[in-house]
Every structure is written in C-alpha cells, then in structure tokens.
Structure 1
C-alpha cells in the first residue's frame, strides 16, 4: 500500500464506443469534491470505573491515507439514554490527535458511548462517524450492569452480485445480526420449500459473522434456509425469488489479479452493450466495455498497481442502469502495511518488573503511539487495520473485525462478508442523477472565529480594529485587523488550550464585539448503537462480576498510587508534566505564533543541538525534513517540499538574508511550522521562527495599560489530563500496593530519538505473564500508517 498508488486502467473489450459516460463523470465529481473521512480511536482501557480518566488517541483518514481535510476533532461522551455527559475539542496534527475525559465519581453504572467526528463528516451520513461503547462500573450505583445470556439473532442471505438467476450456479453469503455478540459458530442447510427435509446444500459458518454455500436455482422453485446455532436455536429464512433471466457477476480476488466472470441466462438478443467499472473508495481504477454479453464472459484486473482496500465492481447496461454489483478486497493474501521495527526486547513476567524495548529508527515518523496491555485482560476485537480497511466504511455491526486482517486470517471469510455487504458511501443511481451531498459545514484551519464589531447595534463595515492579545508569560501582542463587509474580523488558524483574552479598541461609546465560532459541535440525531446489557437492581452484599471487579480494582490502584506518591518522594512518576522545552516555548512565543504542527529545537535545554555548523541556515538544512536552502550566487531561498518558507526573527517577519550568518550560539529556540499559524503573514503556510537569546518576543506593554479597553474571550482546545506511567525503580512501593492495572504503558506522543533507537520502558503489574503491544505511526510523506499489534513473548 505504501509504495503503490491508485491508477485508472481503461480496458476496452469492444471497439464500439459507449454512448453514456455519466457514471465516470459522476465518480470523478465525487472524488474531486466529496472526500470520505473516517476515524480510528485507541483507548487506554476497554472498561472503566466511575472517577477514572478515559484516555484516547485518534487518527483521521481520507480513504486509505491520513486526511489533510480536517484539523479539529469533536469527541463526545453520551450515556445510554443519549444524554450528553461531556465533550472535547481536539486539535489534529498530521491527522492525529489525543485527549481524555474525566469521569465523575458519582457517575451511575451503565453503558456509555464515545462519538467522534470532524466538521467535514457532518455533511455526510452520521452512520459513518465513530462510535464506541464502554461499560462504566460503580459499586455505589443502585443498579448494576448484567450482560444478557443470549442475544436474539437474525440471518440475512445475499446472492453474489445481488442477482439470483435461473440456471446460474451462485454463491450465497449468510450473515448473522444481533444486538450483542453473535453465536461463535452455526451451521445450516438449503431446501426446496415444497420438500424441506431434503438438503440441497449444507454449510458451516466461517466465524460468528458469516458463512457461504452455492446453489443452482431453478425458475419456479422457492428455497428456504434453515440455520442452527451452537446452542441449538433454529431459524428459517427464505432465499430471494429466482429470476427467469439475468446476469450474475462472479469475482475471485487473487494475489496477482482480480478475476471476474459475467454469467448470463436467457438474455434477450437485443440486450445491448455493457460496461464494468471498478472503484476503490471514490476513485475510478478500472473500466471495461463489453459489446455483447456471452455466457461466461471473463477478464481480470491486475493488482500490481492497486492498493489493499475494498474494491467495488459495478456492471452497467447501455443506459447506465446498475445490473450487478460486487465488493471484494484487493490482495487479501498480502497485506501491504509498514511495521515498526522492535529490537533489544527485554521482557520480565515477574511482578512489578522492568520491561524494555526499542523502536528502530524511522525518519518519516513524527511521533509514535505506544500502548502496552496485560494480554490476559486485553480484548483485541478491533484494531487500526480493521477500522482502516473495513468497519470505517460500513455501517452494519461486524463482530471481531480484526480477525480478517490477522496473521491466521481466512480470506474466504472476508470475501463472504463482503458479498453480504453493500457499499453505502454513495449510490450510483443518485450520483448519476446529480444528487450529491449538500455541503453546509466547511472545515476551518484549527480554531477559527468571526468577531463581529458593532456600534449601536450596527455592524462596523470596512473598519480597522486594534486588537491586543495578552499572554501571561509571552507578553502582549498588538496588531491591527480590518473588518469585512459584514463587520467581521476573522481570526483563523489558531491553536491554544487556555482561554485567550483579546482586548480591542473601537470608536464609539456603544461599540461591542460579538464572538461567532466557526467550528462547533453538531447535535447527534441518530440513535446510538444497540448493546447487549441491561440494568438490574443491586442487592446488598452481592459479589461483583469479574469485569466490574477488575475495572474497580484497577481504578483503586491508580487512586492509591497517586495518594502514596505524595508521601514517598523517592518514587518517580513519569507523567506528562510541562517539559522544559514546553515551558520555554510558552515563555518565548505568543499564542498567535504557536501551532500543533510545530517542531521545536530547544537550544537552552538541549546542549547537543549546539554542535554542527555555526550558521543557522546550514544547521537547519541538515535537521528539518524536506527543507532545502537554494543558493544562486548571492541569492538565497528556503523551501519545504518545494513550497516557500517565511522567516521570522523574534516573531517579526524578516528576509532570509537578514539571518544569514546568524550564529547558533545566539539562538534560544527555533520552531519549524508546516501548517501555518494565526500570526503568519503572506501566502506561505510554512515558516521558520527563530528566537534569539537577547531578543524579547514580549512587548513592553503593561497589562495595566489595557485598563479601560473592552475585551472578549476565545475558547481554545481541551487539554488532556496528564497520564502517569508508573515507575517502580526505587522499590519503595513494590510491596505496598496490589497492582492490577490493565494498561501497563500509554504514550500517544512518543517522540523518536534522532539518529538512535527510541526506548520504551514499562513496569509489569502483579499478575501479567505476557503483554499485548501496540505501536502506531503515520508516515509523513505517504500519509499511510505503520502498525505493530502483537502478543509478547
């Protein structure tokens, strides 16, 4: 996937031109104007107790690569009755974001839901937004959660390509559906409804989701399917009515090609010509024209330039009516996914023991997400690959989707699952008819506001406004901004966490500023996904369920440890406190000159950076990915990936010639920003910000001088709680606490070390014998994921 690109292969089987090209034009319009984002989220645990923190890491994709569309993620927490409990605004950099929810101590025991979406996704169906349910336990709650013993299930039958035609031997996928978990195994048989005791075909399920059988139907006959689950429950469902004539599209996905065959029965000689189109997501990747269908017409699509993913083949008649459709997965036998290298692994299953592993060097990764779990308590039913390749594009529940991309995966089961699915991202009939989504909400770069300047209730149009932003440590910044024809000043591309006070000066005694957010949460309209739990009254003295007991013990341990740490100074807690570099950045740079996409070189606290060329331009060229310093005689220009870079010295824009020869010894900090920031000027989105040791980025403005000025407040992103990875190196607490943690290590932003492996250290709990290790990264150039998901040892 990483080194291959989508391509359009046009195979003309017939010399006759096809009279209609509306389908091709429609899919091109969809691809160019209506991208499809999807979200994957990783959590630190699978269940929680009241008072816990929920930590999460999110990745947003556009098709099969990191999304460049959205820079803000909206994450909401709901109870089982669809009541909004909490919400978080999360910045996305390089398609990644992380955050947390603090659960109230008195939160009632129940099933709760996380919903996540971007602004762009609110223009499309809510069904494709992210949803995940959690059990949250509370022994003080008057009711407790009980999992239903047996879920009511139903089964649906889906003929391959959606057609069931007389005389054509056809695959039929059988799909299970339930509110909870499906039965682990089941079997069935097909019979003529007039003679139900005679088995025409028998089959067993591949897994809890799907099974398959083949049958050659006969016109005039009616068929039924009898299904029996592993507990002996039986249900009967009818097969579709047999069509007297028609076409069946049969597909086989091989490693080197995708074979397709067009079977026909009793077609009219005047049926005309056909065309077959293949798409991956919204992209056209193959088209073939067929003058006339002859039974068994077959061809193949080479896969050497296709990527892993869902491919949809659609057969159209000459009037561009959809005749048959089939989904398949490209190269399920060979998953092309980068895998981070783990080396120097030292694991010790002893209680509270130190474990070490290293991540190999990879210059294309800005940061890793690393999570380590007690494998005995970890439920690996869904992962990045299953969300990336499967569940992110389908709305029906799929049990344990990660199994379809595991090492011992069953490619036949995945193919049967896709026969049972329908592509709902778009409808051919609708887009050919010109019915496309209505775009009401357009993404904004990070935090954006319109500030409407009013005087006596009337917008002040085309007026210059003096604004002052006051930072507690970086000082005050004064700037002037014009209002537009609506009387609005637009503040865009800002990234900050703490509320920001903006002071302003306008003529007129009755002037005021009205704050209009350009990014906002959108209420949920659809129902939350069903679950297989019910609430029953709790009785005094009863024993907690295993799941509740584990969640509550885990929570108690974290609280006890946090209390003990205040009494034992020698025990270190590796939390995400403000680092010296973060402190320096907050001291030197104002909110207008900060961005989630910034890379910081801290010369004050990292003495190793002082080596190398004393010239700042030469020093940067060797350390910033994609940066090129172009010299043409006396002329010098800076670009990042062939795009011009603006230069700022102490937050004042300057020419590159001004910093030529500037000595590294005189620099306190350098920041490289690739996605723009509010304080930028000009058309460039990239910038190099240099802060000198003698320069003072803060102005001499005294906050007292703002007395009498009017102000408004801007709300920023939600800052996550600090996650504390436990360190037993001192040993003072090893025997004082019963450690039953599920999550043994969590770091959503592990920064790779330059020119050396990146070390991960974590301590075991009291019982874990093996570990489940997840490592996720996103390649900065290809925008495709790296993924490691293994049990060790």
Structure 2
C-alpha cells in the first residue's frame, strides 16, 4: 500500500476537508469501475522474415500490479492499412496470456502491426491499447507517405500567461517521425527575438520567455540540413497562474506564480498529486495576499512511476496539470539466466538455468535466438520501460528504456523533457466530480460464455424448469456435461468455460413433450467480435527502423537455406508417398479417390483433414490453408477473409457445388474431410482463372459420431484460438528430419515459467541449429508484488 502524505502550506477555512476526502473517494470509485488495465508483450524476436512465426507472451497489469481484471486477451496482426491479417484470443492465467501469429510467406510490406487489448481496455481510453510495428525483413514496398517535419510546442502546465515567465517544451520529428535535431529563434510579431531554442535530447528541448500583452509569437527553426520552417506558439492568456515542477533532494518541488488580477476563486488553490488513480499528496494554497507559493512533495517512499499533479481552484475547476517521473529504482526483482552447458557445435546440446532470489511467486518468459539474425536497439521498449513509462504516455518514444535504465543527472533531466512533451489531460474532471464513468460499450464475461437461446419456440412451450442438457466435445475429444437453464424468453447464458478451437455441443431438451423440431438453438462464445479493420495510431505508422545491412544480409542467406531445406524435405515426403503408392494407395490418394469426381478428379494439391492430427485445431478452413498454398493470399483468418491468387479470386466449391466465402467460412473444420486446390489456370472449372478451392464435408465413417450422442442434435461453438506449440527438436532421438538442414532463428521459446518459494531454480535445454555461433537470451517477467525483471545476454562462440 502506498503511503499517503498531506502537505498543507496554509490552512484554508474556505477549502473544506470534504474537497480532499471527496477526491480520494471519487478516484477510488473510478479505479474500481475503470482500472485502466495495460499490456506489455514479450516477443521472441524484434524482427521477422516472411513465413516465420511471431511467438508472444502478454503481461497484464493495473495500478502497477499484475491485473486480475480480465479473463480474456485479444491480439490482432494488421497491415499498414489497418486490415486484419489474423486474430487471436486466449484465456488469461496468472495475469498473462500466450499465443502466436505466422506471417504469410508472400507478405511484401516492410512491417506488420501487432495490436493487443482486453475488453476492459476497450471500455476505457482506447488511446492506450498496445500497438507495435514489427519489421519484416527483405521487403521494402510500402504505401505510407512520409509526413513533413514537425515541431510540437507545449507550455508547462498548459498555458502561457502574459507578464509571467513561461517554460515551453518542444519536440521535433522528421518525415519518419524520428527525433530531429533543430535550432531556431522565437520572435514576436514585430520581429523582436525573445528566446533561442536548441535540441537537448532526441528532438526535445525547452526555452523560457515572458509573453507581452498584444503580441503573438513565432518559432523560426531549421532542421539538420538547414531547411527552414516556422511554427506558431499558442496565444498567451491575459491573466492566470503558472505551475513549475522541479526535482528536489527529497522529492518534487512545485512552484505557483499568478498574475495580480485572477478571479477570487483562483486565489484559493489545492495542488493534488496522484499515481495509479490514488491520491498521494494534497496541498491547500492560500494566495489571496501573495502571487507566488511553493512546496515539496516527498517521494522517497513512493513506488517508481508517473506522478500526476493537478491544480484546482476553489470551485474544483482544474487550472493546471503536469506529470513528473519518480524513479526510486525499486521496480526490479533479482534473478538471472545463464548457460550451464554451452555448445555451439552443429546441433549441439545447450543447458541453461533460471534462478530467482525472492520467494515471491513470479511469472516469466524466455527466448533464445540467433543474435546475428536479430538486432534490436539496446534501449528499445521492454517490460521495465513499458510498466513505468510507455504504457502511460502517448506518441512515439525513441529508446524508452534509456529513461529508466540510466541513473545519471542528465538522464533525469531528459526524462523530465519527456514528461513535458508527452503529458496529457488524464481525466475529464467534470465527469469525476459528477461520478460519471466512461460508457461500458462491451461486456466482459468470465472466460468463454455460452450465450444465445432457443429461437422459434412458441412462448407457451417455454415453461419453468426448461433446460438444455448437453455434452460439450472439444477439439481434443474432451467431453463435459453441461446443463443450460432456459428462461421464459428462451435465453441461455453460462460462463467460465475454457477450450480451444471449435467444439460441438450435443444437446437435448429436458421437456420431452416438446416436438423434436421445436425451435433452433443458436449459441455464441461470448467473446468480443472486432471488425475487419482496426484503427492504427499514426505514431506507429512512422519511424519503422530497418536493421543494419549486415543483419538483413544474414537473414536473407539463412532464409534461403531454410527454404531450400524445407523444399527438399517436402520432395522426400512426396517421393516416399509415391514409393508406397506403388504397393498400396497413400491415405491422401484414397481421400482424393473417395471424394473428387469428374473435373475435380486428378491434379491439384490435396489436404487430408481426417488423418491430420492438427486439422481440427483451426478456427475455419481459411485459417487451415493460410501459408500452406504458395501464392494464395488470405487477408485474415476470420470466417470472411479476402482471397487472392495471382491477381484473381479463387472459385470456391463446397461438395463440388459452387459456393462463397461466407458459406464456406461457416463450416466447422470438424465437418471437413478433404480440401483440394488447383492453381490459377490449372482447372477448366468456372472461375478457375484465379484458382479453385474445393471443400468436401465428411462422409459416413470419418469422425463418426460417438454412440453416446445418438439421437442428439448439435451446434458448433468456437473456443479460444487453437494453441500452436513451439517446435524444439530433440536430436537425441533420431528423426527423418535430421537429414535436412536446421536453420531455426529462434532456438528456444518458453513462455510459461513459474517460480515460488519452493521452486526458485528452473532448468531448460535446447539444441543448436546448423549455423548459429551467437546466442541472445532474453528473460522477462513480473512477480506478485508488481516488480519486474529484464535480463538480456549475448553469448558468442570462442574461436
């Protein structure tokens, strides 16, 4: 629990205690209703090649602690136009969620965009959803147009006041949104120079001047190439109060300075400082007989984070706001990861150990990658900077880890510049005082929820006690008995379920007197349903930095070797099938003979879902096909994607009858036995110019219904996104893949590591690939007290 302090400079008989106590309770009320949940995502790498898998783990927190708010997590993979390429949903366990996306092997843009959120975040300020640009190597096509260089001018506290010395912070960015070094002069409308500005750090700086009555001011500035620009300063108010925040040896010093002619209500002020929606300090300031006042908020006992300072007048109106960073260097717990057995030989066995000193429960994730293929910036955003800084600030921040990593005086000054240039008005204070909450636009259920009901049943038949008795069979054939009460309107609701992929609910009604065709059961999984597009903040669309030339070249070389190896392995499997087919038909050939007729027989490429153990783990047939057919572009893995193949749209056939995306997307993968695709121009069928995709539903004998379900109807319910397991070869056990090249760039991805007082050391192992001589180990995580860990190590082979 954070310590509370009350700093009172002058007691005010006209500032009742109810003001302070009311604000405490109002913010506590708001925190309960809007906990301002945030997300950090640990990726296995910083950039990827087309065709590679993005592995990720999301950490959820609220108020500086692991969050217990949400039970479901959502992620989207977008292109630069906001089109959703893939979607992911997963349950939240121990304030975290895991998942993966596979980039299409034919993706041709320089970046994909990862967006993550919860329903709680959607019901709050959506400007703080997690969004990250992830570079895709080897392609440089983009439709983004660079913006003009810009200079943002931000007076401290919010306003310039005539006759008072005001500080103005600025941030300059170039065409890509990256920090820009600038220099210039501030002049009034008569050409008089009143201040100079020079960049201090990463495009940021500050200057001070005293505005005069009736004057307007312009900043004339030049970029590093000497190109001139001009920007207008906001007009100064004729009267008012200024707020300045500076560092003090015991905390944060605030200084107030007002003009002589402010309204009476603005002579009696209250300065309030809060963090994570909890009031920490209050200072009642009587400025009736003075024009300046100051005080110090002691911060030595606070948790590190962003302190928000707001100045109210006697009528509770907010006059000034400012944020300031408190860095007590108390945000990390002690832990380490190190190799106990190091082997850079081809397919050599490596062993490592994770140790945590504290007995507090922790939730960790670890990646081991080829450091020569993965070149992130040393100060890029990570779990530390995200928890303390970037999740609470708007706009693009260059090298955010620098502000919490460095303990130099200059870093503290630079951090304050960051506060001045990225602050914002956190609350609509009128809503706070009126106890008005943000509208709850979306409903959050406890994990998956079965929602819907019986449709088409005459009201008179929906008597009390009616219920749906069912057996839920999930993709892994697990069966659970479910009883669903039906209300008088036919509605059904039950929550708290966790399963992955599509599941079948076999059911019957408890009232046996109802006719078998009485109504239709329509059910949904209760998850949030996003649209086909998603808004991207402009700050993530610019400044996508490509790795250095050497890293790109190394990736291209290894990718080419990996593709060659994969092709060789695929050909060997085909040859093996051909060899076997000489004696007996392969299962795939049998499926083709059983299902394909007429013009669909022969040729093409078939997929046997009956004998594919992972076939039923996909949400729909489009997600199953994604990345499996060269040249076929599937814009997203939802039920209604956009399909293109060599510039045309493939024709869809369902059981050899022409169909469409909506109908095919509604078919459960459990009900599909065989899929056959024909390349553009390979088939003479109608619409074959853009390729043909034929889908065949199961016939008798494939996936036969369990005898216990005899006579029962069923509906399909979609669960969380199917889980894809990270592949880590075990070269101690011979496999047919051993004869082919191993060029994995991610050697180990372990996203669910837990420690506590009984288990403080974790041992893992992995095999090297065929080429890596330089490991990069990254360990991230959080403990139950809200402290985090970030360990990054690079280990190179000794020549």
TM normalised by structure 1 equals 0.72
The alpha-carbon deviation at position 146 of structure 1 amounts to 9.2
The offset of 1:174, in angstroms, is: 0.8
Q: Structure 1 CA distance, aligned partners of 2:351 and 2:284?
A: 58
User: For residue 231 of structure 2, what is the aligned residue in structure 1?
Assistant: 237
Relative distance call for 1:355 and 1:760 in structure 2 (3 A) is same
Matched with 1:490 is: 493
| CA 87–477 in structure 1, closer or farther in 2 if over 3 Å, else same | closer
449 and 130 in structure 1: CA distance in 2 versus 1, 3 angstrom threshold? same
Secondary structure of residue in 1 paired with 2:114 = strand
Which of these residues, 347, 361, 364, is aligned with residue 360 of structure 2? 364
Aligned to 2:280: 285
- 2:440 is aligned to 439
Distance across 2 between alignment mates of 1:461 and 1:108: 59
Q: Does 1:776 align with 2:785?
A: no
Per the alignment, residue 56 of structure 1 pairs with 56
Aligned ranges for residues 80-479 of structure 1 at < 5 Å?
80-136=80-136, 144-145=141-142, 152-177=148-173, 180-183=176-179, 185-195=181-191, 200-208=195-203, 210-254=204-248, 256-268=250-262, 270=264, 271-292=266-287, 294-331=290-327, 334-342=329-337, 356-361=351-356, 362-365=358-361, 367-375=363-371, 377-380=374-377, 381-407=380-406, 410-454=411-455, 456=457, 458=459, 460=462, 462=464, 463-470=466-473, 476-479=479-482
Deviating more after overlay: 486-495 vs 36-45 = 486-495
Q: Give distance in 2, aligned partners of 1:451 and 1:269.
A: 58
Matched, 1:11 2:7: yes
User: Which structure shows the higher helix fraction?
Assistant: 2
> In structure 2, how many angstroms separate the alpha carbons of the residues matched to 1:304 and 1:33?
30
Shift of 1:58: 0.9
The equivalent residue for 1:581 is none
The Cα shift of 1:185 comes to 3.4
Give 1:251 shift: 1.0
Whether the 8 Å CA contact 1:470–1:703 is kept in 2: the answer is: no
| Cα distance, 1:136 vs structure 2 | 3.6
CA distance in 1, matches of 2:272, 2:557: 55
Shift of 1:704: 0.8
Secondary structure of the residue aligned to 2:6 is: strand
Of the structure 1 ranges 708-717 and 369-378, higher mean CA displacement relative to structure 2 is found in 369-378
Asked if 1:520 is matched to 2:525, the reply is: no
Distance 2:764 2:469 in 1: 49
Displacement of 1:736 in angstroms is 7.7
2:762 maps to which residue?
758
Aligned mates of 1:241, 1:767 — CA distance in 2: 62
Q: Once the 2 structures are TM-superposed, how far is the Cα of residue 775 of structure 1 from its aligned partner?
A: 1.2
Structure 2 residue matching 1:417: 3-state secondary structure: helix
- Preserved CA contact (<8 Å) 2:221 2:230: yes
Using the alignment, how far apart are the partners of 2:350 and 2:194 within structure 1? 57
Deviation of residue 57 (structure 1)?
1.2
Structure 1 residue 706 and structure 2 residue 709: aligned?
A: yes
| Conserved 8 A contact 1:248-1:264 | yes
- Mapping 1:534-683, distance limit 5 Å: 549-559=553-563
1:769–1:343 Cα change, 3 Å: closer
Q: Quick one: distance in 2 between partners of 1:359 and 1:567?
A: 41
**75-84 or 344-353: which moved more?**
344-353
Is the 2:365–2:781 contact (alpha carbons within 8 Å) kept by the matching residues of 1?
A: yes
Change (3 A) 1:375 1:705: closer
Distance 1:348 1:282 in 2: 50
3-state SS in 1 of match to 2:141: strand
Cα distance 1:765–1:710, how it changes in 2: closer, same or farther (>3 A)? closer
Residues 188, 402 of structure 1: alpha-carbon distance in 2 compared, 3 angstrom cutoff: farther
1:529-551 alpha-carbon deviations (Å, 9 max, x no partner): 363499xxxxxxxxx97676555
| Distance in 1, Cα, partners of 2:280 & 2:396 | 28
Query: Which residue is equivalent to 1:32?
Result: 32
- Given that 1:188 and 1:204 are in contact with CA atoms closer than 8 Å, whether structure 2 keeps it comes out as no
RMSD value, Cα: 3.9
Task: Give the C-alpha shift of residue 269 in structure 1.
Answer: 8.1
User: SS of 1:465's equivalent?
Assistant: strand
Distance 2:370 2:777 in 1: 9
Report the secondary structure of 1:200's partner residue.
strand
CA distance in 2, matches of 1:246, 1:744: 61
For 1:565 and 1:365, locate their aligned partners in 2 and report how far apart those are by CA, in whole Å.
Answer: 44
Structure 2 distance, partners of 1:266, 1:54, is: 60
Given that 1:51 and 1:103 are in contact with CA atoms closer than 8 Å, whether structure 2 keeps it comes out as yes
SS at match of 2:304: coil
Structure 2 CA distance for partners of 1:503 and 1:70, relative to 1, 3 Å: same
Partner Cα separation in structure 2 for residue 767 and residue 411 of structure 1: 43
Q: 224-233 or 317-326, which moves further after superposition?
A: 224-233
**Equivalence for 2:502:** 499
Query: In the aligned structure 2, how far is the partner of 1:338 from the partner of 1:515?
Result: 46
CA contact (8 A) 1:453 1:460 kept: no
Q: Distance in 2 between matches of 1:437 and 1:567?
A: 58
Q: 1:255 to 1:493 in 2, by over 3 A?
A: farther
1:531 alignment counterpart = 541
Q: State the alpha-carbon separation in 1 of the partners of residues 305 and 463 from structure 2.
A: 51
Change beyond 3 A, Cα 1:389–1:467: same
Count of residues paired in the alignment: 640
Per-residue deviation, 1:261: 1.4
Give me the whole-angstrom Cα distance separating, in 2, the residues matched to 1:705 and 1:499: 20
Contact 2:568–2:740 (Cα < 8 Å) also in 1: no
